[in-house]
Amino acid sequence: MSGGMKVGAVIITMGNRPDELRALLDSVAKQDGDPVEVVVVGNGSPVPDVPDGVRTVELPENLGIPGGRNVGVEAFGPGGRDVDILLFLDDDGLLAGHDTAELCREAFAADPRLGIISFRIADPETGVTQRRHVPRLRASDPLRSSRVTTFLGGANAVRTQVFTEVGGLPDEFFYAHEETDLAWRALDAGWMIDYRSDMVLYHPTTAPSRHAVYHRMVARNRVWLARRNLPALLVPVYLGVWMFLTLLRRPSRPALKAWFGGFREGWATPCGPRRPMKWRTVWRLTRLGRPPVI
């Protein structure tokens, strides 16, 4: 039994995908069970026409992905308290099934310590799930559901009690790694995260490097992530491993220059409050297959 849990959805948009946004909203409206309440946030842009009953918030400037999603959360009351579960969906995605919201209700009702569910992202034409969209190190089988240590930002469900307990996404990150920051704080507070292969969001196959700021923000936010969340002894280990992996991938000279610029920026600029995770959380992450040095 799902216990009548109320579900809401937050979708941020820059107004440049009106057809995809309408298709996504149609897929949300078709969900089984009680209707899903929807808020669409125009992140520095007007919101395209949406169906009746969909609430909209238009921001005068682009607050970035975490900032825009946090505004959407607050539209459901402080910490999203007017609903029990919030879906976060990319505006060019599409819920593949009509049962996703009901599956979320059932999962959260069955496990009171489950805080976050990461959906499977699949290409709508091929059905293929990219390895980077499986939030664990052993990503060869995307059809295997499991407990994980992070989640996918535009294809997930969060119990709103998590926001009440550990706070929202880190606004200052703007783009990249904001999900892992929230995931680590949630895990440190005792919540669990599941990857569910049966909850599917169709999304066209893309490369993250399509964003002009990708390399700089990935590096900067990686440093911020470590500075904010890791015990002091693990900060240099974590960042050293990621520097090695970055060099191993042999990025282009411009990409590497942007990456090192972001790495320096991560050390030179404020990262927000530091709340290092407990060592028992480090061990818990390790037992889940991803110690916080990789």
Listed by start position, the domains of the chain span: 7-206, 212-276
Q: What is the pLDDT of residue 212?
A: 56
Phi-psi category of residue 25: left, alpha or beta, with phi > 0 → left and psi -120 to 50 → alpha: alpha
In the DSSP assignment, the letter for residue 208 is G
Burial class (CB within 10 angstroms; exposed 0-12, middle 13-18, buried 19+) of 178: buried
DSSP category for residue 289? T
CATH topology of domain 7-206: Spore Coat Polysaccharide Biosynthesis Protein SpsA; Chain A (3.90.550)
Q: For residues 10 and 93, what is the distance between their CA atoms, to the nearest angstrom?
A: 13
Are 8 and 72 spatial neighbours (Cβ–Cβ below 8 Å)? no
Burial class of residue 125 (count of CB atoms within 10 Å of its CB; 0-12, 13-18, 19+): exposed
**Amino acid identity, position 9:** A
What does the pLDDT read at residue 207? Answer: 74
- pLDDT, one tens digit for every residue, the chain (294 residues): 466 899 999 999 999 999 999 999 999 999 999 999 999 999 999 999 999 999 999 999 999 999 999 999 999 999 999 999 999 999 999 999 999 999 999 999 999 999 999 999 999 999 999 999 999 999 999 999 999 999 999 999 999 999 999 999 999 999 999 999 999 999 999 999 999 999 999 999 877 655 558 999 999 999 999 999 999 999 999 999 999 999 999 999 999 999 999 999 999 999 999 999 999 999 999 999 999 998
